[in-house]
Every structure is written in structure tokens, then in C-alpha cells.
Structure 1
Amino acid sequence: MRVLITGAAGGVATLLRPRLRQAGRTLRLLDLAGPHADGDEVLNGSVTDPEVMAVACHDVDAVVHLGGHSRENSWAQTAEVNITGTQVVLDAARTAGVSRVILASSNHAVGFREVTEDLPADSTPRPDTFYGVSKAAIEALGSLYHSRFGMDVVCIRIGSCFERPPGVRGLATWLSPDDAGRLFEACLTFPSPGYRIIWGVSDNTRRIYSLAEAEALGYKSFDDAEKFADEITAAAPTGDAARYVGGPFTTTPLGIPN
């Protein structure tokens, strides 16, 4: 099995790569800055380049699409890289006969949803930033390519995937690296998932996100951000930052990198 990972030098991909390596699987890594990894196939290039993506998708069984701007940026940059880039990836995968694509969405696609227990993974978009709009758009593109061409597409609305939860909000949104490996593995191996939107979070004590949709694919979380709670000294969010899923991102200026 050959799996293409775009954005392979980025933070989430760097955590995932060692957790997705296994016997009988080849990882093909694509990034503008080629990641150095023994035993993997490495390509340099942009997800916005159809020729690069045609080469990258050749003889691939599945695509894990993590490439793109990972935080707020100008509308022009966000639209070009995150939205157009995802369409280029999906079309290259379709042309190459790749049957499964996993798209990295984000909690920011629903950032203006009010905080509530067990927020369904397929809640309709309420983005909090241009970045959030781009993630809502890639979910729509994934739906289109599934419905038109029969591709299996799983969109993962990732919370916060880091070694440790980033601040108080992260105690709810954290996806541990090990749980990320378990989640993406489930998405790669579950038989014929069709089109799905799932949350990418650990089973945190302060979790507000439904895990039912991810568990239906075979995901099981073993980690909880609460073990880091005593180490976090920052003040808890207040006002709209506490009211909405997107936290402080609901009040930051649009189009300014952060």
C-alpha cells in the first residue's frame, strides 16, 4: 500500500509520519520543503501544481491531504493554496484512480457554533476566519468528488494536534499525537467509508465534540488532555472566546497571519 501525504514537512504530518509507517506500506511525502525521512519516497512541489500532483498521485492507494496554510492568512493566499490546492489534489487523485482521500479540516470550519456537549461532527459550517472558510470549502469539495466520482473521502475536523495541549482551550480541543495516529489509521483502513465528516480530538475530560462519528470508523482514543491541566497557568477564555467553538479566533482580525 502506498500513501501520499501532502504537507509532509508540517507539524501534524511530522507527528503522523512515524505513526503511519508499518510493514507493507510506503509513504510518499510531498511538501515545498522536502521532509527528510529514511525509507520514504520524497517529492518537492506545491499542491497547487497539477503536474506535480499528477506525479505524486501515480500508483497511490490513498492520499492524506495536510498541505496548505495552517493558520489565518490573506484571502488570496488562503483561496489559492487551501481551496484551489485541494481541488487540484482531489482531481489528480481522481485521474490517477486513487480511491480514498483524507482531508484535514478544522474546528474553525464551525468556529461560530456555540460551545455545547457532543457537538456533532457534521454540524453545518459556521467558520470563524478565512482559514475556517477554506476548511468548509474543502469539505464541500470532498463531498462533490465523492458524489460525482465515488471516491471515499473522510474530512477530519482537527482540534489541536500538538505534543501538549495549547492553553486552556486546548484541554477540550487536543488531539494527542498517538490518538492522531490511531484516527488516521482508522480512516485509511475502514472498508468503504463513503463521505464522512468526523472530529479529530482525543477523549478529553473537557471534550465538547462528539466522537461517535470517528468511533464508527473504528477509532478509539486512549489519551486525555486533562493530565496537563495543572501545567497550564493561562487564564480561562471569557466572553465570545468562551461562548464559541473557535475561541479567540472568533475575534481576531481577518486575513492577518497569526
Structure 2
Amino acid sequence: MLITGAAGKAGTGVRPLLRARGHELVLLDLTPIDAQPGERAITGSFTDEATLSDALNGVDAVVHFGGYSREHLWSNLLDINISGTNAVLDAARRAGVRHVLLASSTHAVGYHPIPSIPVHDLPPRPDSLYGVAKVAMEALGAVYADRYDMTVVSARIGTVEDRPRNLRSLSTWLSYSDLVRLIEATTALDLPGSHTVWAISANTRRWFDISNGQGIDYYPEDDAEFAAAEIFEPGAPGNGLIGAEFADPEHELGVPW
């Protein structure tokens, strides 16, 4: 299994869990990684064709975490998050890798108001240029799945971290254990096509319907509620939008923060 952006928060969080479950990992990142037994680390960019070809040698699935994780200059989002995703998908196709998980985001729908009941699906309504890049990522996943009979899961990730840390994350949290469950559901899925799922845990206060993922056999087990007593924030989270601070006026489009 190849993980791009493996030195980031999500990659770092899932690596030991995947290793413990017997997965052999290829780790690709611009930041050097100290590989553990069962891992092969490659320092380089997923936008480089030769580096990608090396990284894909012998793997059976791709988990694409790489790219900017916040609002950034449009030129950078275009080069890395959009063109880079296309490069990863095309290299996977050429290498015969049929299963790809793309790290999309709830910021692809971040300008929708927070739903009053868990919602099964939402059309794109990005809250930022970063969110626009995630919409493009999902579209790229769909066209590669349809054209080349690949299985591509676009995971609309909420808040992936070791534990919930604010009121919003009580609804959007994704545990590392549940992210591993989603990765394994993707790699085991014998259903070519494009599949967009809410990548959240089974949170009591969830905004999104977790049955959305059952079509690919993703069944989250963790719940952010264990941390609720530690969080002291009154009222509703943020500005009432799914994207929260990403949609705030003080964060201008295309300005890194």
C-alpha cells in the first residue's frame, strides 16, 4: 500500500495501526521519514513521474493524503492538490493499481449550513479555494473510475486527530482507528466505480449519516462523545456553516493561513 503525504497527521496516525494489521507500506513525502519494519520510505514529490513510478512498484492500493491541508495560493493548490491528484491517479492506472482512496474533505461542502439531522449526501458547495480543489479531486476520482474501471473512494474527511479538541470536532471527528477501517474497506472493495463517503466516526453529535459508507462496507466504531466533558464551548460551533473558520470572511480566498 502506498501512502502519499505519509509524514502528515493522517499518515503518521494510521501507520502503526496498518503495520499492526499486517500491511506493508510504501511512504512517500517531501519530509524524510524514519521507516519502521514493514515500511519503505521515499523522499520526494508525488508530482514527479519517476518518483511515483518507484513508489508504486509492487503496491496494490494507494491512499492519497498528500497536498496542502488549508487555504493556499491558487497556483499551489492547482499544481499540488489538483494536478498532483491527477498525476497520482494516472500513475496508479499505468501501474495497474485498481484501488485508490482520495483524501477529500468536508470543505468541499463547507458553505452548506450545519444540518439539523444527519444528512446522507450534499452537492458540492466549497467554502474556500482549498474546498474547490477537493471538489476537483472528487471529479478526477470519478472520471478515472469510470474510464478505467478503477475503484476510487473520495473520503470527505471531517477532523482527523487522536481525540476531539473542540465543539465542532464532537460532530466531525474521525479517529485513526476508523480511518484505518475506511482504508481497509477501500482496499477490499470489489465494486469498481467512484464512491464518495463521509469520513467521520460514529459520533453521537454527527452532522453526516454514517450509513453513507455502508455501501462500501465502512462501519465506524468510535464516538467523539468520550471527550465531551473536556470541551467547554457554549452554543453552536462557529458561524453555523459546515466549513466553520474556512468560510469566515477574515480568511480571504487564496490567502494562506
State the TM-score, normalizing by the size of structure 2: 0.93
Give the residue type in structure 1 aligned to 2:119: L
- Which of 246, 251, 256 aligns to 1:249? It is 246
Q: Which residue of structure 2 aligns with residue 54 of structure 1?
A: 53
CA distance in 1, matches of 2:21, 2:170: 34
Report how far residue 250 of structure 1 moved: 1.1
- Shift of the 181–208 alpha-carbon distance from structure 1 to 2, 3 Å rule, reads same
Q: Which residue of structure 1 aligns with residue 7 of structure 2?
A: 9
Q: Is the 8 A contact 1:169 1:236 kept in 2?
A: no
> Does residue 223 of the first structure (1) align with residue 219 of the second (2)?
no
Q: Which moved more, 1:178-187 or 1:168-177?
A: 178-187
Q: Which moved more, 1:220-229 or 1:61-70?
A: 220-229
Q: Is the 8 A contact 2:142 2:193 kept in 1?
A: no
CA distance in 1, matches of 2:168, 2:69: 18
Mapping 1:37-186, distance limit 5 Å: 37-39=35-37, 40-116=39-115, 117-121=117-121, 123-186=122-185
Report the 3-state secondary structure (helix = DSSP H, G, I; strand = E; otherwise coil) of the residue aligned with 1:233. coil
Report how far residue 22 of structure 1 moved: 4.8
Unaligned 5+ segments in structure 1 are none
Count of aligned positions = 253
Q: Is the 8 A contact 2:27 2:40 kept in 1?
A: yes
Percent identity at matched positions? 45
The CA deviation string for residues 145-173 of structure 1, in whole angstroms up to 9 with x for no partner, is: 01111111011000000111131111100
CA distance in 2, matches of 1:186, 1:20: 13
Report how far residue 23 of structure 1 moved: 6.1
CA distance in 1, matches of 2:161, 2:107: 16
Report how far residue 108 of structure 1 moved: 0.1
Report the 3-state secondary structure (helix = DSSP H, G, I; strand = E; otherwise coil) of the residue aligned with 2:181. helix
Q: Which residue of structure 1 aligns with residue 18 of structure 2?
A: 20
CA distance in 1, matches of 2:146, 2:236: 40
Q: Is the 8 A contact 1:110 1:128 kept in 2?
A: yes
Q: Is the 8 A contact 2:71 2:254 kept in 1?
A: yes
State the TM-score, normalizing by the size of structure 1: 0.93
- Shift of the 207–193 alpha-carbon distance from structure 1 to 2, 3 Å rule, reads farther
The CA deviation string for residues 92-151 of structure 1, in whole angstroms up to 9 with x for no partner, is: 111111111110000000001222222224x22100011101110000000010111111
- Shift of the 233–24 alpha-carbon distance from structure 1 to 2, 3 Å rule, reads closer
CA distance in 2, matches of 1:234, 1:191: 43
